[in-house]
A = this chain, B = another copy of it.
Amino acid sequence: MLRISKLTDYAIVVTAAMAGDPKRIFSAAELSSETHLEPPTVAKVLKMLTRSDLVQSFRGASGGYRLARTPADITVAQLIVAMEGPIGMTQCSVHQGLCSTEAVCALRGHWQQISRAVHAALSEMTLLDMTRPTITHTLVPELKLHNQTTESP
């Protein structure tokens, strides 16, 4: 299914909520009730994002979190990388020894190429885009070109 983890999904929900008011400092509890996610989960996500410098944290009473940059400068790719590590689709992008003859195997280079393409696609969507009304920048005509033979349940 080629999916991101739930935690990553949450991270985007939470940051999208923060993007609604980029200057404001939100406590984890506030974000929890706003997003309807469990407080410990929200806290965990925010901590991870803080370590990657995508959000700023303020400790102490009346502390909280704030986006470290403007929503337009935070991409989905960055969020995914922060939560899951580098985008690489195969084991063999990292290790080797899976394939027939490692030395001869052409697949590896191609996987890296594919990963870059995916990364590029994910880099084009920013948090700002995500907060816009859904079908905003409709590239609908373009989409018709790829008629999904593979449906979507």
Q: What is the interface of chain A mostly: helix, strand, loop, or mixed?
A: helix
Question: From A129, which residue of chain B is reached at the shortest CB distance?
Answer: B110
The residue that A131 contacts in the complex, of B84, B106, B121, B131, with Cβ under 8 A, is B106
- List residues of chain B with CB within 8 A of the CB of A77: 150
Question: From A87, which residue of chain B is reached at the shortest CB distance?
Answer: B2
The residue that A118 contacts in the complex, of B17, B116, B118, B135, with Cβ under 8 A, is B118
Instruction: Spot the interface stretch: A22-30, A57-65, A92-100.
Output: A92-100
Cβ–Cβ contact B134 & A89, under 8 A: no
Q: What is the CA–CA distance of A35 and B6 in the complex, to the nearest angstrom?
A: 34
A46-84 CB mask vs B (1 if < 8 Å, else 0) is 000000000000000000000000000000111011001
- List residues of chain B with CB within 8 A of the CB of A12: 107
Cβ–Cβ contact A2 & B80, under 8 A: yes
- Which residues of A are at the interface with B, using a C-beta cutoff of 8 A? 1-4, 6, 9, 12-13, 16-17, 34-36, 76-78, 80-81, 84-94, 98-100, 106-110, 113-125, 129-135, 139, 143, 146, 148-153
